[in-house]
Amino acid sequence: MIRPALFAFGFCLLSSVTATAQGPGPGPRRGGDREPAPQLPPPSIPLTPQQIEIITKQLAEIEKQVMEMRGSTLTTVMTKLRAATASEAAALSLYLDCEKLVNVERKDLDKTEERQRKEQMERNAERRADKKSEEQEGDIGAAVKLHIDYLLLTLEAHETKEADKEKLLPKLQAFIQELLSKADKLKGRSGGLLGRDVAGSVIAQAFQIERFLEGGPRWTTRPMDIGGMYDRFILPQFKEQKPDALAAQYDARITAEGTIKKGQLPEPEFQIWMQQELPELKWQRANYLLRNGPTPVNALKEMLDHIKAYPSHPSAPAWLAEMRATIDPAGGTAPVQ
Q: Delimit the domains of the chain by residue range.
A: 271-337
Banded pLDDT at 308 (limits 50, 70, 90):
very high
Banded pLDDT at 121 (limits 50, 70, 90):
low
Q: What digits encode the pLDDT tens for the residues 183-197? A: 999 988 899 999 999
Region at 208 (left for phi over 0; alpha for psi -120 to 50; beta for the rest):
left
How far lies 314's CA from each of 21, 245, 257, 317, in Å? 50, 30, 21, 7
Rg (CA), the chain: 24
The dihedral sign for the CA sequence 181, 184, 185, 186: positive
How far lies 184's CA from each of 128, 129, 178, in Å? 16, 17, 12
- Distance from the first to the final alpha carbon of the chain: 63
Give the predicted TM-score (pTM) of the model. 0.76
pLDDT of 162 > 90? The answer is no
Q: Which of 128, 132, 141 is nearest to 194 (CA)?
A: 141
Q: Which of 180, 181, 175 is nearest to 150 (CA)?
A: 175
Q: What digits encode the pLDDT tens for the residues 75-106? A: 889 999 999 999 999 999 999 999 889 888 87
Distance CA 217, CA 157 (A): 12
Residue 233 DSSP label: I
Distance CA 148, CA 202 (A): 11
The SS3 assignment for 292 reads helix
Residue 103 DSSP label: I
The SS3 assignment for 253 reads helix
Q: Given this model, what pLDDT does residue 6 score?
A: 39
Banded pLDDT at 51 (limits 50, 70, 90):
confident
Distance CA 324, CA 313 (A): 18
Amino acid, res. 164: D
